[in-house]
Amino acid sequence: MRRNETKENLLYLGIWVLLFLSPIISMSVRMADNSGMEFNWQEILRSWRVFVPYLIAFLIHNFLIAPLLIYKKKSLLYVGLALCVVVVFQTYACNQRPHFDRGPRHEERAMAQDHDGPPQLPCRPPMRPDDKKFDHHGQHPHPPHGEKPRLREDFREPPFIFGQHDLVALIVMILMLGMNLGVKLYFKTSKDSKMLEELERKNLQQQLEYLKYQINPHFFMNTLNNIHALVDIEPEEAKSSIVELSRMMRYVLYESAKSMVPLSKDIDFIQHYITLMRLRYTDKVKINVDIADNLPPCEVAPMVFITFVENAFKHGVSYKQDCFINVTLNTKGDDRLVFTCSNKNLGKTDTDKGGVGLQNTRRRLDLIYGDTYHLDIDDTGDTYLVTLEIPCGCATQ
C-alpha cells in the first residue's frame, strides 16, 4: 500500500511546485508582452513570502493533524488542532499586513516637537497659478456637484483588526485544509477498497479449497466402497478399477488443485469414473453418456460435473428395479456449455440428507461463476434431472 502514499505525496509536490513557479511564469509572460521590462526577483520573493505560511500550515495539517481523523478516528482532537493552526495562521497574517502611514503632516509635526519651543507648523509652499489642487485659502477645492470628495493622499486610515484581506486569507486556508482532507480521504478509501478486495480474494480461495477438500474425500470414499464390492465378485475387474482409480487420483492431485482446468481433462475424469461404476452394476442399470464432438477447447472449474454424476449413481440406482443414468454435455451458442444428468427418482437426494456433495457444488459455482451460471434441479417426477449451464472459459475468479 506504499504505492498510494507515494502517489498522494507526488500529487502534493506537483501542486506546490506549480504554485511556486506561477510568479515566475507570470513575470515571463509579462516580459514577453513588454520588451522593456526587466526580471524582478524582489517581486518573486514577495510572492513566495505569501505562499510560505500556507505551505507550513499544509505540512503540519497533512503529516500531523489529518492522520488523526483519517487513520485514528479522533475527530475532536483533529478539530481542536485544526482550529489552532487556523488561529495561529490568521494571527500571523494580521501581523504581516503592511502598515499604512499617516501622511507627511504627522511626520513634520513630530520633527518640530523635537526642538525647543512650541511646535511649529511647516510653511506652506507658495501656490502656483496653475495649481488647481488648492483654493485661495490653501485648501482643497470642493468637488463638483454629485461627485464624491476625494481623500487626501497624505492621510490613510489604519486597517481594521479583521479586514477584507484577512477574510480572503482565512477562506483560502480553510479551502486548502479541506482539499488536503478530501485528497487523503480519497486515497484512504482507495487503499481500503484494495485491501478489501485482497481479503475477499483470499477468503474466496480459502472457501474453494475448503469445499474442494470436502468433495475429494467424499468422492473417494464412495469409489473405494465400489472397489471393495468388486474384490469379492470380480477380482480382475477390481484390478482394472484400481487402475482407473489411480488415473482419477492423478487428476485430483495435480489438476483439480488449479482454479480452472481444460474441459477435455474434466471429461476424461468423468469417463474414468463411469467406466469404474459400470464394473459394479448389472444390465438393470442403463448408463448412457452423450458428449458432443464439437466442444470448444475451453476451461471449466474442476470436479463440478462429477458431483452430479456421483450423486446419480449414489441415489438413482436400485438393485430391485430397472434404473437409468443419462449424462450429456453440449454447447449452447459459442460460449456456453450445457450439462445434464438424469436418473430414476428413488427418493431422498444428497441435498435432502444434508450431504456435502450438491451443497458444496452450489457454493463453488456461486464463488467461481457468480451470476453467469444457471443450475436447475427438478425432482418432482419420476426422473431426477440436473441441468447446469456455465460459461465456457469465462469464470469470474
Q: Tens of pLDDT along 313-324? A: 888 888 778 899
Instruction: Check pLDDT > 90 for residue 329.
Output: yes
Q: What is the Cα–Cα distance from 90 to 53, expressed in whole angstroms?
A: 10
The string of DSSP letters for 124-169 reads: PPPPPTT--SS-TTSSPPPPPTTPPPPPPTT--PPPPSS-HHHHHH
How many angstroms from the chain centroid is the CA of residue 60?
A: 27
* pLDDT for position 395: 44
Whether 146 shows a pLDDT value over 50: the answer reads yes
pLDDT for residue 103 is more than 50: no
- Write out pLDDT tens, residues 331-379: 988 789 999 999 988 876 444 444 556 777 888 888 888 889 999 999 8
Residue 356, class by beta-carbon neighbours within 10 Å (0-12 exposed, 13-18 middle, 19+ buried)? middle
Backbone angles phi, psi at 196, to 5 degrees: -65, -40
User: Would you state the pLDDT for residue 121?
Assistant: 47
Average pLDDT for 222-237 = 78
- Under the banding of pLDDT at 50, 70 and 90, the label for residue 141 is low
Query: C-alpha angle with apex 326: 282 to 320, nearest 5 degrees?
Result: 35
SS3 202: helix
Global pTM value? 0.49
Averaged pLDDT, 270-284: 80
Q: For 150-168, what is the mean pLDDT?
A: 54
3-state SS class at 134: coil
pLDDT digits (tens, 9 = 90+) for 281-314: 777 889 999 999 888 888 998 888 988 998 898 8
Tell me which residue has cell 460459461. 391
What pLDDT is attached to residue 217?
66
Average pLDDT over the chain reads: 77
- Tell me the Cα Rg of the chain: 44
List, for residues 163-207, the tens digit of each pLDDT value: 566 788 888 889 999 999 999 999 888 888 888 887 777 666 666
Q: 205, 187, 212, 198: which is closest to 9 by C-alpha?
A: 187
Q: What is the pLDDT of residue 163?
A: 56
Task: Give SS3 for 336.
Answer: strand
pLDDT at residue number 164:
64
pLDDT of res. 19: 92
CA distances, 302 to each of 201, 207, 328 (Å): 18, 15, 17
Q: Please, what's the b/e burial string for 23-48 (b: 16 or more CB within 10 A of its CB; e: otherwise)?
A: beeebeeeeeeeeeeeeeeeeeeebe
- Provide the 8-state DSSP code for 145: T
pLDDT value, residue 370: 85
Query: Which residue do the cell numbers 489604519 mark?
Result: 158
In the chain, the domains with their CATH numbers are 2-99+159-194 (no CATH), 234-391 (3.30.565.10)
Of 41 and 253, more confident: 41
pLDDT, mean of residues 21-44 = 86
